[in-house]
Amino acid sequence: MSCDSTKPAHHPVIEHAKVGKEVKEFTMETYDPAEGFFGTVSLAEIKKAGKWTVLFFYPADFTFVCPTELADLGAKHPELAAAGVEVISVSTDTKFTHMAWKQDEKLLENVRYKMAADPNGAVSRYFGVYDCESGLDLRGTFIISPDGVLVGSEVNFFNVGRNADELVRKMKANFYLREHPNEACPAKWNPGDKTLTPGEKLVGKVYEALNS
């Protein structure tokens, strides 16, 4: 059951982020493992710094698949950060719980990105990952351009973990396409591979374009 369906008929429908559209501004409290401090993170400040944003929603602290995902993302974080990406994990836990989990769970010892708290589910609802029956988030990954446009969205159910290698690959494709907006990246594209230039000559001739 969607959260929207619990609202009376006269209640405004909750706005959701849409791929290809500008993301509305948000601010969340955080625990920053790199600094050891509480703070805040806002989309406005990330955009001002000219950075990409990756929001990595997960169900809950002190659970089972979640630390494996956050550890996997932590291993790729230095590469993403060096490329100008602000990585933020998000759950409906508080910043205090984030801090306690980070200190207790050995899998998280190399996590250095900000851990954001969304205890009322407002940001989670906006991105369509909030499960109103459990009060937890689905596993959602969202890529926001430096201009604030949502360019990538992936949502998994609670029991399927993600692969940070694929996130890095998609980020590299987005970096390339930001500089080459008239091109497109085919499946499994990596830097150095051929791209596609959509147009009349490419219709029905993709094989030839990739294998010439």
84 is written with which tokens?
């100008």
* 173 and 120 fall within a common domain: yes
* 107 and 190 fall within a common domain: no
Rounded Cα distance, 146 and 47, in Å: 5
Q: From the candidates 3, 66, 132, 185, which is the catalytic residue?
A: 66
Q: What is the pTM of this model?
A: 0.93
* 90 and 194 fall within a common domain: no
* 105 and 193 fall within a common domain: no
* 110 and 199 fall within a common domain: no
Mark whether 66 is an active-site residue: yes
* 22 and 111 fall within a common domain: yes
CA atoms lying within 13 Å on the CB side of residue 90: 33
Tens of each residue's pLDDT in the chain, 212 residues: 346 544 444 445 568 999 999 999 999 999 999 999 999 999 999 999 999 999 999 999 999 999 999 999 999 999 999 999 999 999 999 999 999 999 999 999 999 999 999 999 999 999 999 999 999 999 999 999 999 999 999 999 999 999 999 999 999 999 999 999 999 999 999 999 999 999 999 999 999 999 99
CA atoms lying within 13 Å on the CB side of residue 135: 6
**Per the structure, how many domains does the chain have?**
2
Structural domain that includes position 90 = 4-179
State the CATH number of the domain containing residue 23: 3.40.30.10
* 106 and 29 fall within a common domain: yes
* 193 and 146 fall within a common domain: no
* 152 and 206 fall within a common domain: no
* 120 and 204 fall within a common domain: no
* 72 and 125 fall within a common domain: yes
Query: For residues 18 and 150, is the Cβ–Cβ distance under 8 A?
Result: yes
Report in angstroms the alpha-carbon separations of 160 from 28, 66, 156. Answer: 26, 10, 6
* 170 and 212 fall within a common domain: no
Rounded Cα distance, 124 and 140, in Å: 9
Beta-ladder partners of 22: 149
